A and B are shown apart, each in its own frame.
Chain A
């Protein structure tokens, strides 16, 4: 499996790939997140747990640069996110993607890498969807759609994968498949940050967890 350069200017070996410091965010007078500190390194899998409405999705959007923090900062490879957002792939819980668009799975994944066929094929193999390359995206199941979006992120050589509630709405089999895929991607060097609530796939039960509660991120229990 191919490894891609994670940083244009490689940070020191122990330096985090993605860093958030004193991150805060709120809507109107309501503080959603306060003083969030997070370090994400190459090949790590960071699991953020929390109840509905705890601010998990907001945190991922801040990490991806989609939202601007009211205080604090996020850096990728030690530099501000501006101009680097394409290297952070956010797979949202409810993607805005129009699944009835006339495009095959290979075409969708190819969009992530400017149509580079080899990278597209490799990414589809990584997520186990190579056999469906020529299928229209409208025909994909919920679990396949999640994996398709991950493949698109991989094809575009994202440095960090941000997965928002990837197991929501998946049946047990699809959850286990996706959990195993996330483990494999991390083992292969991709940094993964994911949010979840409720039961986890067995493959992710040993992953270190953080807990988001009352707008603050703290260490969580291992389950």
Chain B
């Protein structure tokens, strides 16, 4: 318990809690929109973007977001014209994902940049600072703003994309907005859980609540509480047992998948 009294642990704890709030909130939207695989691609594509930004002396946030969005656009381009539902889209996404990761590693080695690859991939809460906290707070604020202003349209997008096109909703703009938001959240969560592990926080709490929620709004409320719990508990256990917080939080997400209630009967 003494460790919690130290002020320098405050930021890691706040970051873990915030990450546990932001990632599952966004993740719930992504799961219902069936964009999880794309999000995974974005998470890995942050790496070459960050490395290029470092090489050019640009902000990492900008580079990471650019890498993520660039990879999605590339994947969309490569998927164009391929038959939907054939599995080819998933194959394209996974290939671009692997290539992005490979490119990132090659750039780190080729440019001989002082990049903490382990920290980027698996997170390092102990070296996180106020800037990381502010970035995550900004991501949360933007996410809440989008939910407030575009909730109705996001529901259409998740429930019935074809129907949304039929009523002439700006689908392309909405998807671009979601991609930008996803990139921001993934880059912001890097300090806490890393690029490779952020998917666990994005997916697992959502899966735990979606089968029991009667509405998207209720799912978002439930997942917020659960996510903060996972983040803070994972961080606490990591500090208590002197383990790396990111991997521990990711492992901590696995039992959440068993939280699946029996379906309700309405007959």
Interface of A toward B, CB cutoff 8 Å: 64, 66, 83, 85-86, 88-90, 92, 95-98, 101-104, 107-108, 111, 114-115, 132, 134-136, 138-139, 156
B162 and A98 contacting across the interface, CB-CB below 8 Å: no
Q: Which residues of B contact A89 (CB under 8 A)?
A: 166
Tell me the smallest distance from the CB of B267 to a CB of chain A, in Å: 8
B168 and A96 contacting across the interface, CB-CB below 8 Å: no
Q: Decide yes or no whether B264 CB sits under 8 A from chain A.
A: yes
From B160, B166, B263, residue with most partner A Cβ within 10 Å: B166
User: Are A101 and B166 also in contact (CB < 8 A) when A136-B266, A139-B265 are?
Assistant: no
User: Are A102 and B218 also in contact (CB < 8 A) when A96-B161, A108-B159, A111-B159 are?
Assistant: yes
Nearest residue in A to B212 (C-beta to C-beta)? A102
B264 and A96 contacting across the interface, CB-CB below 8 Å: no
Tell me the smallest distance from the CB of A59 to a CB of chain B, in Å: 16
Q: Which B residues from 226 to 267 make CB contacts under 8 A with A? A: 263-267
B32 and A111 contacting across the interface, CB-CB below 8 Å: no
- A85-B166, A139-B264, A139-B267 are known; give 9 further A-B pairs, CB within 8 A: A86-B166, A90-B166, A96-B162, A101-B159, A101-B216, A102-B214, A103-B159, A134-B214, A136-B266
Q: Decide yes or no whether B2 CB sits under 8 A from chain A.
A: no
Q: Which residues of B contact A88 (CB under 8 A)?
A: 166
Q: Decide yes or no whether B119 CB sits under 8 A from chain A.
A: no
Q: Which residues of A contact B167 (CB under 8 A)?
A: 85-86, 156
- Selected from A86, A104, A134, the residue in CB contact (under 8 A) with B168 is A86
Q: Which residues of B contact A95 (CB under 8 A)?
A: 160, 162-163
Interface of B toward A, CB cutoff 8 Å: 32, 34, 152, 155-156, 158-163, 165-168, 210, 213-216, 218-219, 263-267
Q: Which residues of A contact B165 (CB under 8 A)?
A: 66
Tell me the smallest distance from the CB of B120 to a CB of chain A, in Å: 34
Q: Which residues of B contact A132 (CB under 8 A)?
A: 266
16 A-B interface contacts by CB (under 8 A) = A85-B166, A85-B167, A86-B166, A88-B166, A96-B161, A97-B159, A97-B163, A98-B34, A98-B160, A102-B213, A102-B216, A103-B214, A103-B215, A104-B215, A136-B264, A139-B266
- Selected from B152, B158, B168, B264, the residue in CB contact (under 8 A) with A98 is B158
Q: Which residues of B contact A104 (CB under 8 A)?
A: 214-215
Tell me the smallest distance from the CB of B144 to a CB of chain A, in Å: 19
In the complex the two chains form, what is the Cα distance from A22 to B212 in whole Å?
Answer: 51
A136 and B32 contacting across the interface, CB-CB below 8 Å: no
In the complex the two chains form, what is the Cα distance from A50 to B45 in whole Å?
Answer: 50
User: Are A102 and B152 also in contact (CB < 8 A) when A64-B166, A96-B162 are?
Assistant: no
B168 and A102 contacting across the interface, CB-CB below 8 Å: no
A102 and B161 contacting across the interface, CB-CB below 8 Å: no
In the complex the two chains form, what is the Cα distance from A103 to B167 in whole Å?
Answer: 19
In the complex the two chains form, what is the Cα distance from A172 to B248 in whole Å?
Answer: 56
In the complex the two chains form, what is the Cα distance from A61 to B156 in whole Å?
Answer: 20
In the complex the two chains form, what is the Cα distance from A89 to B264 in whole Å?
Answer: 31
Nearest residue in A to B209 (C-beta to C-beta)? A102
Q: Which residues of A contact B218 (CB under 8 A)?
A: 102
Tell me the smallest distance from the CB of A173 to a CB of chain B, in Å: 15
Nearest residue in B to A140 (C-beta to C-beta)? B266
In the complex the two chains form, what is the Cα distance from A108 to B152 in whole Å?
Answer: 11
In the complex the two chains form, what is the Cα distance from A89 to B263 in whole Å?
Answer: 31
Nearest residue in A to B151 (C-beta to C-beta)? A115
B266 and A83 contacting across the interface, CB-CB below 8 Å: no
Q: Which residues of A contact B161 (CB under 8 A)?
A: 96
In the complex the two chains form, what is the Cα distance from A88 to B213 in whole Å?
Answer: 32
Nearest residue in B to A115 (C-beta to C-beta)? B152
Tell me the smallest distance from the CB of B30 to a CB of chain A, in Å: 13
Q: Which residues of A contact B215 (CB under 8 A)?
A: 102-104, 107
